[in-house]
Amino acid sequence: MTSNNYESLNLTQKVSEKDSFTEERYKQFYQFFPKTASTALDIGCNTGRGGRVLKQQDSNIEIFGLDCVQSRLDRLSKDIYKSGIYGLSTDIPCEDNSFDVVVAGELIEHLYPADVDKTLTEIFRVLKLNGKLLLTTPNPLDIKKQIQGRTVLGGAHLSQHFPDALALKLRMFGFSSVRIFGSGKVSRYLGYHFPFQRIYGSYLATGTKF
Q: Distance from first CA to last CA of the chain, Å, rounded?
A: 30
Cα separation, 179 vs 205, whole angstroms = 6
Residues in Cβ contact with 75 at an 8 Å cutoff, skipping those fewer than 6 apart: 47, 48
Output phi, psi for 101, to 5 deg: -140, 140
Three-state DSSP at 148 gives helix
Whether 148 shows a pLDDT value over 60: the answer reads: yes
Mean pLDDT of 136-156: 94
pLDDT at 196 (0 to 100): 85
Mean pLDDT of 129-146: 96
Range with lowest mean pLDDT among 49-53, 136-140, 154-158: 154-158
Whether 1 shows a pLDDT value over 70: the answer reads: no
DSSP line for 115-146: HHHHHHHHHHHHEEEEEEEEEEEE-TT-HHHH
What's the pTM?
0.92
Residue range 49-75, pLDDT digits in tens: 999 999 999 999 999 999 999 999 999
CA 6 to chain centre: 16
